[in-house]
Amino acid sequence: MFLAALLASGPIVIAHRGASAELPEHTLAAYTRAIDLGADFIEPDVVITKDGVLIARHENEISGTTDVAAHPEFADRKVTKEIDGAKITGWFTEDFTLAELKTLKSRERLPQVRPESAKSDGKFEIPALKEVLELVRQKNEKRRNPVGIYPETKHPSYFRKINLPLEEPLVKILAEFAYDEKSPAFIQSFEVGNLKWLKEKTKVRLIQLVTNGGKPEDGSVTYAQMLSNDGLSAISTYAAGIGVEKSLVIPVKDGALAPATDLVKRAHDANLLVHIWTLRPENLFLPKSLAGKPEEEHRAFLNAGIDGFFSDAPGLSVRVRNEWLAQR
């Protein structure tokens, strides 16, 4: 019941990897900060360890978000792998046990862009997904409106091929924490097959992620084809919504926001929610015409009719969203 009321109350703010404009992403500190800033949901990206434990990391390659390279005892774990068609060299979560990963510390992924966050390098551990869910449960004991979770399965086909599937342990742990179709929860993926599998195994609502170009790792239909009217209709048979790259809703042309596309209307006509990713406060991620004015980017997408957005700065996003709602 609460999820339905939340969705009806206005666009939701999803803290992208936590309050990641302020603190190193995918840490309990970043999630805590996001919750305290009023985010409606927090987003843990999900990968897996050698011993089958789900953890929160944006990627299974961890050299950019941990101090693993500074650990001589793990020097021989540096390898090159092919992940979803791309060759990547580094250290990978599936080659470490949870206990080993707990000896590492998180670090800011974009230190030159976010120097204040980088000051927290070395302070925080890599959290298991269970720790994230426990944090949310503890926070919700003291809240009138519970904060939701919005996990993403990362590289699901790859992990299934190496016999470390993400879906089964994810379904198990969500059931352990009593998440269902009435809970403030979504599961998202860029792939299709695992969402269809999840549809049969959990009542938690699903979101089909879509990027501007290419196709899912496990499919032959392109993302562009998925956003046709027939494609949206097909998505509606297994998902509650789409999570789309923001340029698919409002493109940027000549350094400024162009008129909105008709995607939101067509998705709504197909009974799909539309969540966009990702709003970030720094000028590096804004159209040149909006330098220093991230609030204007927020308002443009709110005016375009979206149902929610992923944000690296949830405090800013909650404030602008609330102001926008008050004006309506």
Give the residue-averaged pLDDT of 235-243: 98
Residue 3, pLDDT score: 67
* pLDDT confidence band for 144 (50 / 70 / 90): confident
Cβ atoms of 46 and 166 closer than 8 Å: yes
Rg (CA), the chain: 19
Q: Rounded to the nearest 5°, which phi and psi values hold at 52?
A: 80, 25
pLDDT at 2 over 90: no
Residue ranges of domains in the chain: 2-60+108-327
pLDDT tens readout for residues 23-74 = 999 999 999 999 999 999 999 999 999 999 999 999 999 999 999 999 999 9
How many Cα atoms within 13 Å fall on the side-chain side of residue 100?
18
Give the residue-averaged pLDDT of 285-291: 98
- Chain-centroid distance, C-alpha 196: 19
As a CATH number, domain 2-60+108-327 is 3.20.20.190
pTM of the model: 0.97
60 Cβ contact list (under 8 Å, min separation 6) = 47, 48, 83, 92, 93, 94, 154, 155, 159
Q: Which two tokens stand for residue 317?
A: 């996003």
Collapsing DSSP to helix, strand or coil, 18 comes out as: coil
Cβ atoms of 248 and 263 closer than 8 Å: yes
pLDDT at 1 over 60: no
Cβ atoms of 42 and 132 closer than 8 Å: yes
pLDDT at 220 over 90: no
